[in-house]
A and B are shown apart, each in its own frame.
Chain A
Amino acid sequence: MESNEVVLKVENIGKDFFGNVVLKSVSFEVKKGEVIGLVGENGAGKSTLMNILFGLPVINETGGFSGNFFLNGEKAHFSSSFDALDAGIGMVHQEFVLLPGFTATENILLNRESVKDNFAVNIFGDRLKHLDREDMKKRAVNAINKLDVNLDPEMIVAEMPVGHRQFTEIAREIDRSSTKLLILDEPTAVLTESEAEIMIKAAKKLAEEGMSIIFISHRLHEVLDLCDRVLVLRDGNLVFESESENTNPREIAESMVGRSISDFEHTERKKELQKDLLEVKDLWVAMPGEVVKGVNFTVKKGEIFGIGGLAGQGKLGIANGIMGLFPSRGKVLFKGEEIPLNNTKNILDLGFSFVSEDRRGVGLLLDEPIDWNITFTAMQAHERFIVKYLGGLLKFRNDKEIRKEALKYIDMLQIKCTSEKQFARALSGGNQQKVCLAKAFALNPEILFVSEPTRGIDVGAKELVLNALKKYNEESGITIIITSSELEELRSISDRIAIVNEGKIAGILPPSKPATDFGLLMIGESNINGEGEIK
């Protein structure tokens, strides 16, 4: 049921974070009861757009946004998400925003409980009003019925199956009488097949009753099944918009990733690589948000092996799992012999090294000097920069050597800093990344895992980091396994690229393949007949 009343009108909204542009003049309209599908690679600007609509403080803190948007015809400007809620925009996040110990009813009506007066109220204020449990139950059941799902309002969330939690959260948003526009951010990502179907049926029912919905997902068959229209965002632009009937997954995938095919240059590798160095069999990794569910691949000696895929699909889990940072299971063969998992010390001794994607959280000692940061792992794992007394009984830091090594890398990677004693916290993002690289190089590894090396650093630093990796690979022949969400970056540096989707490898393609094929693998539509070895 679509009336032509426009609930949301977005007029060339733009946004940049300290110079790097994330959204360029995006405009679209959402009519009452219409379901819009929003698709795009991560980093395409989807979440930034939603943050703007939902009035999250991070937007204002980073300089606000250009252009404007209208809700039911009025110009909207929110300073906090509470304004957005009052204006009628509801948002359901990917990770649940639910109180585990509360019942479904209590969660649905959190901070909007129906209350009844009592004597103490006018003395001590409204917060002493009593909860009206019956009315709350009525409202909850009413909201649940709108979704037409069998959800017990009195069940505690902690005891609920995942699907029911999702419905509870949606019920909470639609209970707000003012909600006219509901944003669902990757709602089916954590659901099983059957739960996803119920979810979509419920969304359809809501739309029929006049609720407009923006459905963000990368599962195109779901998007096409549920949505009336599909919008595709790429690099901050709205590149594709069409009714669901007259488009297909391939066309959407193409617009999602289809850069102008020409501009990536890939220097063909000079010599042919033959020897297998690393073989991974049925690897499972329990990394929250990046779960790996049985991954198989082999990497040749001296190769640069790329791992791509959308966020949350498990690509980052692979490196973290093998390095022992997260509990993992499965078989990993290095030079033919199986190596024990979940043992970081052992992995480092075998010649592995890792540049973590979480630079500030894992990769750096923010409150220690640069020279420490660079040499620490090498010192601990390979006992370098150590001066030994009494035949190794007493091992002390050799501060001279540490300084020398640090200065070597500061020069090699042009790390801009006042001295090697400056604290890592004081460096810029790009320089911090170079310090992490230096830390990994200092281990003189045979295999180097690098995760998201260019995330959040300026373009100049990106070039330098990638060239350093390439130079290191050519000169000392170390094998690099680079995980990144920047497809272009992978294609410019890797010999082969594996795309991870839903915890498994959807396919491994040479970089020369058109971007669309990668796009299709990313959204799990690999059954579309694309060339290249698709496992």
Chain B
Amino acid sequence: MKNSIIESIEKIGWPRIIIGLFLASMFVIAPFVGVSVGTSISDVLVRFTFNGVLVLSLLPMVKSGCGLNFGLQLGIISGLLGAVTSIEIGITGFLGFLIAIGVSIPFAILFGIIYGLLLNRVKGDEMVVATYVGFSVVSFMNMMWLLLPYKSPDMIWGYGGTGLRTTISVEKYWFHVLNDFLSFEIGGVYVPTGGFLFFALMCLIVWIFFKSKTGTAMTATGSNPVYASSSGVNVNKMRLVSVIISSIIAAIGILVYEQGFGFIQLYMAPLYMAFPAIAALLLGGASVGKATIANVIIGTFLFQGILTMTPSVINNIIKSDMSETIRIIVSNGMIVYALTRRKKARG
């Protein structure tokens, strides 16, 4: 009996057990500390919908062996370009949101190709190179946001100056366009069905893709690149495709995030956006070499759970905002933990 418990713990993995218990305990304490469970659950659900897609975007690259995508910012920036252009065009509502996606996809493909070719050149050091490529692109875009010819008054600096504001509200355009769709309330919990449906749709697309021929080849490339190449698979092409898909999903992911959050954040905002998404994926049980859609779902739920619960519950207990510190420790601790797991001995 004893070792079967240990076995199951090993299978689930210590981090998920610890964080899971931590989260459960917060839900239990919440009512005693005057935090309404209903609002916190709906808060977690809402945050789940607009972060889930970003975490999902990491999946293809992990499966193809490119490792954790520390350069997620490239996909995010293509999404931002889409969002900003869609607001420039000025069409509101769901159509505006679709236009934003439509505009960001070509950018995502372009950035994805360049980024993928570079990663293929630096096999083995993908993650550290990706980190700084991501930072450089974000700081490069800082200049671009000032120079790009956008005129819409909602976006440029107040008195008719040039260059985009750091945060642009999507209130008038496609705010909560997904979340409010078919949303309903039961027992004080607001359920953003639109957001869930969209996230489920994206997961379905990814799941189906990995059942396709290329998808299978991509999984094999990640599992054993030499095996794949000896079966006639062009390993570099598979890695490139996985980077492009990741960038596209990331672009869509940031758009979903913005419609949920309500603001487009430019300039330095996306600088550290890769880390929470990666931490969530790892929290879901993924490793540097292997990840599944289940990891995405569990991880996002646990991670967002902590982010929403700690400020309300913990702060009430010790009367100070410790949640930011906890978020840093949990998020980065997860990534360091995953990076120190030896890759399974090969053969």
A and B assemble together: yes
Contact of B226 among A362, A367, A383 (CB under 8 A): A362
Find chain A residues with CB under 8 A from B231 CB.
Answer: 344, 348, 376-377, 380-381
Interface centre among B208, B213, B214 (most CB of A within 10 A): B213
Tell me the chain B residues, 194-251 only, with Cβ under 8 Å from chain A. Answer: 208, 211-214, 216-217, 219-220, 223-224, 226-227, 229-234
Separation of A364 and B223 alpha carbons in the complex (Å) = 10
Find chain B residues with CB under 8 A from A406 CB.
Answer: none
Contact of A368 among B212, B223, B346, B347 (CB under 8 A): B223
- Give the number of A-B contacts (CB < 8 Å): 83
Contact string, B308-347, partner A, CB cutoff 8 A, digits 1/0?
Answer: 0000000000000000000000000000000000001011
B290 proximal to A (CB < 8 A): yes
Tell me the chain A residues, 354-389 only, with Cβ under 8 Å from chain B. Answer: 354, 356, 358-368, 372, 376-377, 379-381, 383, 386
Separation of A458 and B231 alpha carbons in the complex (Å) = 27
Indicate if the CB atoms of A396 and B211 lie closer than 8 Å: yes
A390 proximal to B (CB < 8 A): no
Indicate if the CB atoms of B230 and A362 lie closer than 8 Å: yes
Indicate if the CB atoms of B213 and A380 lie closer than 8 Å: yes
Separation of A396 and B207 alpha carbons in the complex (Å) = 11
Tell me the chain B residues, 172-213 only, with Cβ under 8 Å from chain A. Answer: 208, 211-213
Answer whether A377 and B232 are a contact pair too, CB < 8 Å, given A361-B226, A364-B227, A366-B347: yes
Answer whether A367 and B344 are a contact pair too, CB < 8 Å, given A354-B230, A381-B232: yes
**Residue of B at shortest CB range from A432?**
B347
Find chain A residues with CB under 8 A from B217 CB.
Answer: 380
Indicate if the CB atoms of A367 and B223 lie closer than 8 Å: yes
Contact string, A323-357, partner B, CB cutoff 8 A, digits 1/0?
Answer: 10100000000000000000011011100001010
Closest-CB distance, B31 to chain A (whole angstroms)? 44
Indicate if the CB atoms of A394 and B212 lie closer than 8 Å: yes
Closest-CB distance, A98 to chain B (whole angstroms)? 23
Separation of A348 and B346 alpha carbons in the complex (Å) = 26
A395 proximal to B (CB < 8 A): yes
Indicate if the CB atoms of B232 and A396 lie closer than 8 Å: no
Indicate if the CB atoms of B230 and A397 lie closer than 8 Å: no
Indicate if the CB atoms of B211 and A397 lie closer than 8 Å: yes
Separation of A348 and B233 alpha carbons in the complex (Å) = 11
**Residue of B at shortest CB range from A377?**
B231
Indicate if the CB atoms of B227 and A344 lie closer than 8 Å: no
Find chain B residues with CB under 8 A from A368 CB.
Answer: 219-220, 223
Contact of A365 among B211, B220, B229, B232 (CB under 8 A): B220
Separation of A237 and B186 alpha carbons in the complex (Å) = 81
**Residue of A at shortest CB range from B225?**
A362
Indicate if the CB atoms of A379 and B230 lie closer than 8 Å: no
Find chain B residues with CB under 8 A from A396 CB.
Answer: 208, 211-213
Find chain A residues with CB under 8 A from B347 CB.
Answer: 358-361, 364, 366
Indicate if the CB atoms of A365 and B213 lie closer than 8 Å: no
Find chain B residues with CB under 8 A from A363 CB.
Answer: 227, 230
**Residue of A at shortest CB range from B234?**
A345
Indicate if the CB atoms of B234 and A386 lie closer than 8 Å: no
Indicate if the CB atoms of A365 and B224 lie closer than 8 Å: yes
Contact of A376 among B216, B234, B290 (CB under 8 A): B216
Find chain A residues with CB under 8 A from B216 CB.
Answer: 372, 376, 379-380, 397
Find chain A residues with CB under 8 A from B214 CB.
Answer: 395
Tell me the chain A residues, 398-442 only, with Cβ under 8 Å from chain B. Answer: 399
Indicate if the CB atoms of A397 and B223 lie closer than 8 Å: no
Indicate if the CB atoms of B232 and A366 lie closer than 8 Å: no
Indicate if the CB atoms of B212 and A397 lie closer than 8 Å: yes
Find chain B residues with CB under 8 A from A348 CB.
Answer: 231-232
**Residue of B at shortest CB range from A386?**
B213
Separation of A126 and B208 alpha carbons in the complex (Å) = 62
Indicate if the CB atoms of B220 and A376 lie closer than 8 Å: yes
Indicate if the CB atoms of A360 and B213 lie closer than 8 Å: no
Find chain A residues with CB under 8 A from B232 CB.
Answer: 344-345, 347-349, 377, 380-381
Indicate if the CB atoms of B230 and A356 lie closer than 8 Å: yes
Closest-CB distance, B209 to chain A (whole angstroms)? 10
Closest-CB distance, A327 to chain B (whole angstroms)? 13
Answer whether A344 and B229 are a contact pair too, CB < 8 Å, given A365-B223, A368-B219: yes
Tell me the chain B residues, 98-114 only, with Cβ under 8 Å from chain A. Answer: none
Separation of A344 and B225 alpha carbons in the complex (Å) = 14
Interface centre among B211, B217, B230, B290 (most CB of A within 10 A): B230
Indicate if the CB atoms of B224 and A395 lie closer than 8 Å: no
Indicate if the CB atoms of B212 and A361 lie closer than 8 Å: no
Closest-CB distance, B210 to chain A (whole angstroms)? 9
Separation of A367 and B343 alpha carbons in the complex (Å) = 12
Find chain A residues with CB under 8 A from B290 CB.
Answer: 367
Indicate if the CB atoms of B213 and A323 lie closer than 8 Å: no
Indicate if the CB atoms of A379 and B213 lie closer than 8 Å: yes
Find chain B residues with CB under 8 A from A345 CB.
Answer: 232-234
Separation of A362 and B290 alpha carbons in the complex (Å) = 19
Find chain B residues with CB under 8 A from A354 CB.
Answer: 230
Find chain A residues with CB under 8 A from B224 CB.
Answer: 361-362, 364-366
Tell me the chain B residues, 62-96 only, with Cβ under 8 Å from chain A. Answer: none
Separation of A344 and B228 alpha carbons in the complex (Å) = 10
Find chain A residues with CB under 8 A from B346 CB.
Answer: 360-361, 366
Interface centre among A368, A379, A380 (most CB of B within 10 A): A380
Contact string, A4-37, partner B, CB cutoff 8 A, digits 1/0?
Answer: 0000000000000000000000000000000000
Interface centre among B223, B231, B234 (most CB of A within 10 A): B231
Find chain B residues with CB under 8 A from A367 CB.
Answer: 223, 290, 344
Tell me the chain B residues, 7-28 only, with Cβ under 8 Å from chain A. Answer: none
Find chain B residues with CB under 8 A from A377 CB.
Answer: 230-232
Find chain B residues with CB under 8 A from A349 CB.
Answer: 232
Find chain A residues with CB under 8 A from B226 CB.
Answer: 325, 361-362
Find chain B residues with CB under 8 A from A366 CB.
Answer: 223-224, 344, 346-347
Closest-CB distance, A215 to chain B (whole angstroms)? 33
Find chain B residues with CB under 8 A from A325 CB.
Answer: 226, 229-230
Separation of A362 and B226 alpha carbons in the complex (Å) = 6
Find chain A residues with CB under 8 A from B219 CB.
Answer: 368
Closest-CB distance, A354 to chain B (whole angstroms)? 7
Indicate if the CB atoms of A323 and B230 lie closer than 8 Å: yes
Indicate if the CB atoms of A365 and B230 lie closer than 8 Å: no
**Residue of B at shortest CB range from A354?**
B230
**Residue of B at shortest CB range from A382?**
B232
Separation of A381 and B212 alpha carbons in the complex (Å) = 14
Find chain B residues with CB under 8 A from A362 CB.
Answer: 224, 226-227, 230
Find chain B residues with CB under 8 A from A359 CB.
Answer: 347
Closest-CB distance, B136 to chain A (whole angstroms)? 31
Separation of A354 and B290 alpha carbons in the complex (Å) = 27
Separation of A396 and B347 alpha carbons in the complex (Å) = 29
Separation of A363 and B224 alpha carbons in the complex (Å) = 9
Separation of A379 and B234 alpha carbons in the complex (Å) = 14
**Residue of A at shortest CB range from B226?**
A362
Closest-CB distance, A397 to chain B (whole angstroms)? 5
Closest-CB distance, B222 to chain A (whole angstroms)? 10
Separation of A227 and B79 alpha carbons in the complex (Å) = 74
Closest-CB distance, B266 to chain A (whole angstroms)? 37
Separation of A386 and B216 alpha carbons in the complex (Å) = 11
Separation of A364 and B226 alpha carbons in the complex (Å) = 9
25 contacts between A and B (CB under 8 A): A323-B230, A325-B229, A325-B230, A344-B229, A344-B231, A344-B232, A348-B231, A348-B232, A361-B224, A361-B226, A362-B224, A364-B347, A366-B344, A366-B346, A376-B220, A377-B230, A377-B231, A377-B232, A379-B213, A380-B216, A381-B232, A395-B214, A396-B208, A396-B213, A397-B213
Q: Which residues of B contact A (CB under 8 A)?
A: 208, 211-214, 216-217, 219-220, 223-224, 226-227, 229-234, 290, 344, 346-347
| Known contacts A349-B232, A380-B232, A397-B213; 11 further A-B pairs (Cβ under 8 A) | A347-B232, A360-B347, A361-B224, A363-B230, A364-B224, A366-B224, A372-B220, A379-B216, A381-B232, A396-B212, A397-B211
**3 closest Cβ contacts across the A-B interface?**
A360-B347, A345-B232, A377-B231
